[in-house]
Structure 1
Amino acid sequence: MQLHRLMIVALIAFALLGSPASKAAINASGLGADYDATKTNVTFKIYSSRASRIELFLYSSASGTQEKARRVMTLGTGGVWSLTIPVATLGGYGVTGTVYYGYRAWGPNWPYNAGWTKGSALGFASDVDAAGNRFNPNKLLVDPYARELSHDPLTPTMSNGTVYASGALYRNQDTGSVAPKAIVIAPDTVLTGTKPTRALKDDIIYEVHVRGLTMNDTSIAAAYRGTYKGAGLKAAYLAGLGVTAVEFLPLQETQNDTNELVPTDTAGDNYWGYMTLGFFAPDRRYAYDKAPGGPTKEFKAMVKAFHDKGIKVLIDVVYNHTGEGGVWNPADKTTYNIYGMRGLDNPTYYSLTADRQSSWDNTGVGGNYNTRNLVAQNLIVDSLAYWRNTLGVDGYRYDLASVLGNSCEHGCFNYDKLDPNTALNRIVRELPPRPAAGGTGADHVAEPWAIGGNSYQVGNFPAGWAEWNGSYRDTMRPLQNRLGSVAVTPGQLASRVAGSSDLYGDDGRRPWHSVNFITAHDGFTLKDLYSCNGKNNNQPWPMGPSDGGEDHNVSWDQGGIAADQRKAARNGMALMMLSGGVPMIVGGDEALRGINCNNNPYNLDSSANWLDWTWSAAESNFQAFAKGMMTFRKAHPALRPLNFYSGSDNNGNVMEQLRWFKPDGGVADGAYMGNANNHALAWRIDGSEFGDTASAIYVAHNAWSAQVNFTLPWPGTGKSWYRVTDTCNWAEGATQVRAPGLEDAVGGESTVYGVCGRGTLLLIAK
């Protein structure tokens, strides 16, 4: 019966992935603005199925001036409006060099009136009509396919956000001279290097903010700190640490130009960047070269720097909502920001309530992007392909990814992983995942939850998708920090260590579909998880203030004992590196970076939230520990299984590759594994099954507060056990993780080893 079920799942997965011939062409309509091959003409194309008129506005500068020309677009097939203009004609308009542009659109709720002028109400019928249209020609609109943007809606010299709003108070305010402009950029010759083809199972992911990575790094020239160029200069460090994939927080254009306007005032600041304004445009704030075309070229050069060190570049992408946000006041359905997609085709690009008058919000940040709509999906797939094919990235982490699985458009939300018409399944169909054993393809990693409805979907994404395994975090944290108050059985620990077969093994996926993490950007750092009893977000600059933040952190300060805090962090790092799946650490966690218990620093573009590169002796020792554990993981394929360990059913059955043990050396049976009163577990992995240099690996974890003696199992014929590391405080130091050949002899079968309270032991057989 189980085999039959897996065959059905496999057939469904094959149908969803489809054959190469079934894939749609990337950006088949040629949307955006592009030079022709001879650079003598520029063609502008934009989509709107509901507009009655669209005009192209051309500018010679980014802001502060009026347009040089306005031209009426022509509606063709499929809702695509287009216009080709010779470069010579642009020059005649006074648009030479960089071409800045935007659109104005009319539609059913605001029909075109020949007498309309900028800032007038001629033609106005309503801010929103029964179909959900929100056209307003007073708002200059950004091209959703713009390759770069000139600036953010709000800047240090333009802080009046009301000009972008609809509604009675704001609808007639014209935005032409202040709004962001799309930029026409020509193809460049900057290379992105050779993409790594490493299997995802063999990766160690380092999640970090591109600006925060280097802003505090005095080894980098001041002008390069916080930039793509500066980030590329850290490739050698990350490769030396053992990182194989860097995962950057959002790099697509977002509202952050005003972050430093008043450095100590965090109101309205956006550091993380989860409010996308342009899905194709690298954020120019992170570029040393901010001239038009500069951010694109500099980003590509950064990618090459990482590729040259064998490191993949993954980017965090946000396709569940956009920077246009939601309603200003829930009691007033008329007032919304109109920057781009909302003013072009609101019901196409956004999920709306059943009456089409409001946004449908499953994200908590304003309203859902309409991931069910084919045209809206086109933008997702086209932009992903652009970042892969042109900008060189290797994969993506998808924010609130269950929204991509929505199977309905308006007035509802329903996640359905088997529906072939969701964005989820279209993405993996048209941007094929990397094969299990490595090769060409993209790495797709989902944050498998959103807000409300059936959006919590850990373990329930379709074939081709890896996931942030929230259950891994939610097991490891209480295991270490809630002994006696939260029940965690040895079996639960075993399931997470062995790759979470309970989540991924029932539908044909594998251990490496689980991205294992204990901390992430949106929560405590590793240090603070084991140093704080609760969040402390209402602090003065630069540690705060920040609003929001999770109240249920499962954190603990280890009784205020600094040495025990470091020990707990070593346990967390060690368990991630010794677990089946793909480990992910947060930038700075390798050196015990802390932000004084602020667990929601989304708005802190501050020195406290940037990585610190000046380390104390304890921080340097921890960095050496993290590096040692990464090195050990990379050296032992038994820790990176392609498939689930054979026989690891957590019920005491005979196992070929993995066996669980009680402290007394006996095999841990089902009764032991299911008893939450048991807080010590050991396991032996047969390395010979994986061609490992170590014939066996042994791990003992003691979650009790006092020492537990472990009786060691058979190490193999003619072998003895050697200690690689012991996380206990007595062993703390720069060489706590022994290099190959320097391991400490422990003994053979039946040797008794005392593991301190809340400690972890790692042995290999030699």
Structure 2
Amino acid sequence: MKVRRALGVAMLGCALFGSPLAHAAINASSLGAAYDATKSSINFKVYSSRATRIDLYLYSAATGQQEKASLPMTLGSGGVWSLNVTSTQLASYGITGTVYYGYRAWGPNWPFSPTWTKGSAAGLITDVDANGNRFNPNKLLTDPYALEISHDPTTATMSNGTIYASGSLYRNIDSGSSAPKGIVLQGDTQSIGTKPTRAFKDDIVYEAHVRGLTKNDSSITAAYRGTYKGAGLKAPYLASLGVTAVEFLPVQETQNDTNDADPNSDTGDNYWGYMTLNYFSPDRHYSYDQTAGGPTREFKEMVKAFHDNGIKVYIDVVYNHTGEGGQWNAGDKTTYNIYGMRGLDNPTYYSLTSDYQYPWDNTGVGGNYNTRNTVAQNLIVDSLAYWRDKLGVDGFRYDLASVLGNTCQHGCYNFDKMDSGNALNRIVAELPPRPAGGGSGVEHIAEPWAIGGNSYQVGGFPTGWAEWNGMYRDVIRQHQNKMGQVSVTPGTLASRLAGSSDLYGDDGRKPWHSVDFITAHDGFTLKDLYSCNSKNNSQAWPYGPSDGGEDNNNSWDQGGVASDQRKAARNGMALMLLSGGVPMMVGGDEALRSINCNNNPYNLDSTATWQSWSWGSDQSNFQSFTKGLVAFRKAHPALRPANFYASTDGNGNVMEQLRWFKPDGTVADSTYFNDGNNHALAWRIDGSEFGDSASAIYVAYNGWSGSVNFTLPWPGNGKSWYRVTDTCTWAEGAGQVRTPGAEDFIGGENYVYGVCGRGVLLLIAK
């Protein structure tokens, strides 16, 4: 298939960033800055459909110096401005090492004037015109396609962010010497290793923060802690835990150079990284090697370390808004940050109100990226392909992904998965998802909501997309923690545990399109979910203060009983790892990590948010429990169905792969399923149809506070039931999950097993 783009007709093959694609050329216009094959010149290309003049500014240092040269660019077809600069020219300007660069742009609201000098208002008409243009030549603009940028807008030595602002107070401040510059890379030979081709249904995802993963880890060389290099050194540990995919919070450049680690921290810090400044650049803050090209090489080295351990690498990407942010002051349409895209082509890259004077905001953090615009989509697809092909990434988790389904550029918002021109459908068309059975391809994982309108879309994404199943999270939490307050029927619980066919089966998707999670970076940790009745975000450093955070967490402290809190955490982990979707745990949850009831620590780059690797006995025991259940899941394909639990024999007769039971051993009927007063449920999975080593798997979940007797079903001809684990009191110590061959004999059909209050039982038949 050929896809027509605003920058020309895309052809089969790959123009710049790697291997050929099945659908369309990636970065067909070669935007960005790149050396030619002989390293004798650099081609600079940048897009703007509205600029009337763009000048390239060249520097020999990232900060503290004025430009070595400023050169006008030439407008070609399709809104692409270009300029070729030879190595001889660079030398004549006094640039002999790393080339740093940026752009200055003029347009209808600020036409070029020959009398203009840096810091002057010559030519200014208005900060924003009726068409939404916000050109300001006093602001040096970073290239949206720069493969690395030199530093963040504000740093420890340059903390005055007003230099980047427009408006009457700031428009004439020149940002050139301090602004981030693009870095022209000369290429590298760092391997990314061999990408795993495992089917997504067989993955176990571990969400982590690159810095937080190792910053507290004394086993890592001090200089490597909190870096890509340090993260790569944890690959053997994650492999030993059984993790098959690590999902990193945003690693694309964001403002975090000024993050502090002292009691004077404020809510302005940016630890999580959801304010992207550049979609191609690995964040320099996470790199041990911060020389030009160092972050790129080190990121690839980290990816190789994970690939060498059989682990995929996913990254969290933020294409719904950018780090340029929104208006500084309510009602003020003039004062905005101008770092890059806003100063190059504001209406192309951002979704605006109908009068083009303000951003349209479905994100709550400044305004929507214009995901319905073809050129803005190009940048999304081009950057995704770069991370896939050049940097070795295996999949992507998309923040507030409903914005990618927007069908309107300006003055409105509407999610429509059927719109062939939205970014969602274009992404999966041009970066094909991994086939169901495994092979080459990309995992696309949506956070299927945003703010307002029809943006809550759990189960509503198009084919090719997996989703964070927020309904799974809510149902499991409510069933465990809100008995008597929230009614959850056994039928609703069963739907979530079996893969949520009601959400994904109606459009041809499968159980593995449901990413099952109980906790994520956003909200309580697993321990805090069962130890905190409410958030506590206003506490002192290092656990706070943080603003925001959800008030309705479906959490409960289990009456303050520590052993019950640990049991509840075991239940949550067990239910997730025994469910039909793809499980995702948060880094540190395997060892009962706590943030002391802070449920929104986005701003805390502190010892509290970094993972702890010094464990007490309770934490070590829980880690062993998690590891054992992960191993059990990986050993039993019946828990990782390719299709929803139902099949037919050769004669078209329905064969039940999974059957639900009441505690008395009879089959759960619709009356039982639809009664929210029932809080105990069991299920038996027939392993024979999956080639499973267990002829059957049986799980009993007692949501009541008191013990319940479960009558066991038929284990199979000549088989008996054996206990793998029971989350109740006996599982408090080490060895709570039995290894294959060491399971405890229980009995056969009709054996009565008492499951403690709020407990989970796991048996296999053999």
Q: TM-score range by the shorter chain?
A: over 0.9
Q: Which amino acid aligns with 2:500?
A: S
Q: CA deviation at 1:385?
A: 0.3
What is the alpha-carbon root mean square deviation over aligned residues?
Answer: 1.3
C-alpha separation in 2, matches of 1:619 and 1:188: 42
**What is the DSSP-based 3-state SS (H/G/I as helix, E as strand, rest coil) of the residue aligned with 1:231?**
helix
Q: Report the counterpart of residue 700 of structure 1 in structure 2.
A: 700
What is the CA deviation profile of residues 423-463 of structure 1, one whole-angstrom value per residue up to 9, with x for unaligned ones? 00000000000000100000000000000000000001001
Aligned match of 2:41: 41
What pairs with 1:248-647 in structure 2 (closer than 5 Å)?
248-260=248-260, 264-646=264-646
Moved more, 254-263 or 381-390: 254-263
CA distance in 1, matches of 2:60, 2:654: 74
Matched, 1:221 2:214: no
Name the CA distance, whole Å, in 2 between partners of 1:317 and 1:33: 23
Deviations 1:460-486 (A, max 9, x none): 100100000000001000100011111
Equivalent position amino acid for 2:629 in 1: M
Q: Could you tell me how far 1:654 is from its partner in structure 2? A: 7.8
Answer whether contact 1:115 1:122 (CA < 8 A) is retained.
Answer: yes
Distance 1:610 1:530 in 2: 20
Residues 547 and 600, structure 1, Cα contact 8 Å, conserved in 2? yes
Contact between 2:280 and 2:383, CA under 8 Å: does it hold in 1?
A: yes
The residue number in structure 1 matching 2:29 is: 29
What per-residue deviation string (whole Å, max 9, x for no partner) do you get for residues 595-642 of structure 1? 100000000000011000000000000000000000000000000000
Deviation at 1:656, TM superposition (A): 1.5
Match of 1:5 in 2: none
Q: Distance in 2 between matches of 1:654 and 1:352?
A: 53
Summarize the Cα distance change of 1:300–1:436 in structure 2 as closer, same or farther, 3 Å threshold. same
2:6 maps to which residue? Answer: none
Quickly say closer, same or farther: Cα 1:204–1:488, change in 2 above 3 A: same
Question: Take 1:664 and 1:647, find their aligned partners in 2: how far apart are those partners?
Answer: 26
Q: Does the residue aligned with 2:356 lie in a helix, a strand or coil?
A: coil
TM-score w.r.t. structure 1 length? Answer: 0.96
Deviation at 1:24, TM superposition (A): 2.5
CA–CA separation in structure 2 for the residues paired with 1:268 and 1:524 = 21
One-letter code of the match for 2:339? Answer: Y
Aligned to 2:686: 686
Aligned residue for 1:722, secondary structure, equals strand
Question: What is the distance in 1 between the residues matched to 2:22 and 2:742?
Answer: 55
1: CA distance, partners of 2:691 / 2:277: 49
Shift of residue 263, structure 1, vs aligned partner: 5.5
Residues of 2 paired with 1:236 and 1:530: CA distance?
30
Q: Which amino acid aligns with 1:411?
A: G
* CA contact 1:647–1:658 (8 Å) conserved in 2: no
CA distances 1:231-271 after superposition (whole Å, capped 9, x unpaired): 00000000000100000000000000000275631231000
CA distance in 2, matches of 1:262, 1:175: 29
Structure 1: tracts of 5 or more residues without a match: 1-17
Question: What does residue 245 of structure 1 align with?
Answer: 245
Q: Residue 261 of structure 2 contacts residue 605 of structure 2 at CA under 8 Å; is this kept in 1?
A: no
Check the 8 A contact 1:151/1:181 in 2, yes or no.
yes
Aligned-partner SS, 1:149: coil
**Structure 2 stretches lacking a partner, 5+ long:** 1-11, 14-19
Aligned letter for 2:598?
N
Note the 1:4-15 alignment, pairs <5 A. none
Aligned residue pairs: how many?
745
What is the 5 A alignment of 1:640-655?
A: 640-646=640-646
Q: Per the alignment, do residues 477 and 53 of structure 1 end up closer, same or farther by CA in structure 2, a change over 3 Å counting?
A: same
Give 2:253's aligned amino acid. E
**SS of residue in 1 equivalent to 2:553:** coil
Match of 1:156 in 2: 156
Secondary structure at the residue paired with 2:566?
helix
Instruction: Tell me if structure 1 keeps the 8 A contact 2:164–2:175.
Output: yes
Looking at structure 1, the residues matched to 681 and 254 of structure 2 have their Cα atoms a distance apart, in angstroms, of 46
SS in 1 for 2:281: strand
CA distance in 2 between counterparts of 1:730 and 1:631 reads 20
What code does the residue aligned with 2:374 have? L
Check whether the contact 1:259–1:266 (CA below 8 A) recurs between aligned residues. no
Separation in 2 of the partners of 1:262 and 1:35?
A: 43
Supply the AA of the counterpart residue of 1:737.
V
Contact 2:371 2:403 in 1 (8 A): yes
CA distance in 1: counterparts of 2:506 and 2:24, whole angstroms: 31
CA distance in 2 between partners of 1:643 and 1:182 (Å)? 47
What whole-Å deviation, never above 9, does each CA across 1:530-581 have from its counterpart, x for those lacking one? 0000000001110100000000001000000000000000000000000001
User: How far off its partner does 1:96 sit?
Assistant: 1.3
1:262 and 1:757, CA in 2 relative to 1: closer, same or farther beyond 3 A?
closer
How far apart are the structure 2 equivalents of 1:456 and 1:284?
Answer: 34
Do the aligned partners of residues 266 and 655 (structure 1) sit closer, same or farther apart at CA in structure 2, a change above 3 Å counting? farther
Give the match for residue 743 of structure 2: 743
Is the 2:277–2:323 Cα contact (8 Å) retained in structure 1? yes
- Give TM-score scaled by structure 2 length: 0.96
Mapping for residues 107-146 of structure 1, pairs under 5 Å: 107-146=107-146
Cα distance in structure 2, aligned partners of 1:647 and 1:75: 60
The one-letter amino acid paired with 2:764 is I
Aligned partners of 1:361 and 1:368 also within 8 Å: yes
Asked whether the 8 Å contact 2:192–2:304 carries over to 1, the reply is: yes
Give the aligned partner of residue 198 of structure 1. 198
In the TM superposition, what whole-angstrom CA distance separates every residue of 1:13-56 from its partner, at most 9, and x where no partner exists? Answer: xxxxx999983310000000000111111000000000000000
Q: Counterparts of 1:619 and 1:554 in 2: how far apart (Å)?
A: 23
Is this contact kept in 2: 1:32–1:45, CA < 8 A?
yes
What is the CA–CA distance in structure 2 between the aligned matches of 1:663 and 1:228, rounded to whole Å? Answer: 49
Cα distance in 1 for partners of 2:371, 2:337 equals 20
Letter in 1 for 2:56: L
CA contact (8 A) 1:381 1:427 kept: yes
User: Which of 191-200 and 257-266 deviates more?
Assistant: 257-266
Match of 1:232 in 2: 232
Partner-residue secondary structure (3-state), 2:348: helix
Give the secondary-structure state (helix, strand or coil) at the position aligned to 2:425.
Answer: helix
- How much identity, in percent, do the aligned residues show? 76
Equivalent-residue separation in structure 1 for 2:124 and 2:657 (angstroms): 71
Is the Cα contact below 8 Å between 1:156 and 1:261 reproduced in 2?
Answer: no
Shift of 1:133: 0.2
In structure 1, distance between residues paired with 2:513 and 2:399: 16
| Equivalent residue number for residue 16 of structure 2 | none
Structure 1 distance, partners of 2:23, 2:683, is 45
Map 1:650-729 to 2 at 5 A.
656-729=656-729
Structure 1 counterpart SS, 2:277: strand
What does residue 61 of structure 1 align with? 61
Aligned to 2:218, the other structure's residue is in SS state: coil
* d(CA) in 1 for partners of 2:657, 2:640: 12
Q: Distance in 1 between matches of 2:269 and 2:518?
A: 27
Q: After the TM superposition, which parts of structure 1 deviate over 4 Å for at least 4 consecutive aligned residues?
A: 18-22
Quote the offset at 1:79 in angstroms: 0.3
Q: 2:203 corresponds to which letter in structure 1?
A: D
- 2:693 and 2:261 mapped to 1: Cα distance? 56
